[in-house]
Amino acid sequence: MAMAKAHLLACLAALSLIAAASRVMAGGRMTDNLEILWGQTQLINGSNGDQTIALSLDRVMGSGFRSKTTYLFARIDIDIRLVPKSSAGTVTTVYMISQKQWKTHDEIDLEFLGNVSGQPYTLHTNIFANGSGGREVQYRLWFDPTEDFHTYSIIWNSEQILILVDNMAIRQFKNHWDAGVPFPVYEPMRLFGVLWDADDWATQGGRVKTDWSQAPFIAYFRNYRAQGCEPSGYSWVCGQDPFGGDWFDGGAGVDDMKQRQQLREAQEKYMIYNYCTDSKRFPNGYPEECGLP
């Protein structure tokens, strides 16, 4: 990794016009940091000044929001309460995506696949780098995500992408750039939150369709926090993170030993699908990163 990091820094230095970036720590009112994009979205103002965004889905359209800021490496946290009861066919999503052309874009996905009443949600995660995706890993949550808010987090730095639920690390995607595995390092990404209909695939492979008699479906979002590097001008280089570390050394992360324990527990107890073990999908060998430590 040291050699890969050296090459990466050299590339960034060559491409960057100004090696400077501002540090951003976001919090407070949701509308200070997020903007509503489309759909029947409700903004709920609390008595203490807090705000909750309610995304709505009916037969006509879904709804969505996005962050006002783009980041090159960040830790994003947001609290979500998912669509209750019969949510089959619906997908509640938070994801980070670059503004590049689709064929070369970067993306980090957390998609919550609804189900019929009494059946658990599936947390479907995926990662794209330089347009290359297909890195799906799925989990069953160990609580009912419709009864209360839970915190979902993305940590993205030069060493890894880490996905957390209630501050428990469940998925890690390491930077194996030196082995030829694409990893998002060049393009800033923006956060989106969307509620949409995907009954052609979301619930049991599309066998269970959306029950529109239950509409409108509503998911709630609150307490958005973003700590990361906001590149200034044409600069692509990000240095210090908000905690005093270096984003190129894995800023805003989790203690390594605790992280490894959490990842092991998530894999053993909650993982229900991993593309790196799907022999039917990859009969001629798994993707390169699957065999790397």
Output the DSSP codes for 195-208. Answer: EEE-TTTTTGGGTS
User: What is the CATH topology of the domain spanning 2-291?
Assistant: Jelly Rolls (2.60.120)
Task: With beta carbons less than 8 A apart as the criterion, state whether 12 and 237 touch.
Answer: yes
pLDDT tens across 25-45, in order?
444 589 999 999 999 899 998
Q: Please list, in sequence order, all residues whose beta carbon lies within 8 angstroms of the beta carbon of residue 236, skipping any fewer than 6 positions away.
A: 12, 15, 16, 72, 186
Give the mean pLDDT of 245-254: 52
CA 177 to chain centre: 20
Residue 13 pLDDT greater than 60, yes or no: no
> Where do the domains of the chain lie?
2-291
Residue 140 pLDDT greater than 50, yes or no: yes
Residue 252 is predicted with a pLDDT of 53
Q: Which residue has the higher pLDDT, 203 or 135?
A: 135
Separation between Cα atoms, residue 136 and residue 290, nearest integer Å: 12
Residue 253 is predicted with a pLDDT of 60
Residue 264 is predicted with a pLDDT of 96
Sign (positive/negative) of CA torsion 154, 4, 241, 230? negative
- The label of the residue with tokens 């160990």 reads 142
* Count of CB atoms situated within 10 Å of the CB of 33: 17
What single-letter amino acid sits at 215?
A
Residue 249 pLDDT greater than 50, yes or no: no
Separation between Cα atoms, residue 197 and residue 58, nearest integer Å: 9
pLDDT tens across 166-175, in order?
999 999 999 9
Task: With beta carbons less than 8 A apart as the criterion, state whether 35 and 27 touch.
Answer: no
Tell me which residues are annotated as active site: 107, 111
Residue 238 is predicted with a pLDDT of 62
Residue 257 is predicted with a pLDDT of 87
Q: What is the DSSP letter of 94?
A: E
Give the mean pLDDT of 180-193: 93
Separation between Cα atoms, residue 46 and residue 24, nearest integer Å: 25
Instruction: Determine what percent of the chain is predicted with pLDDT higher than 70.
Output: 83
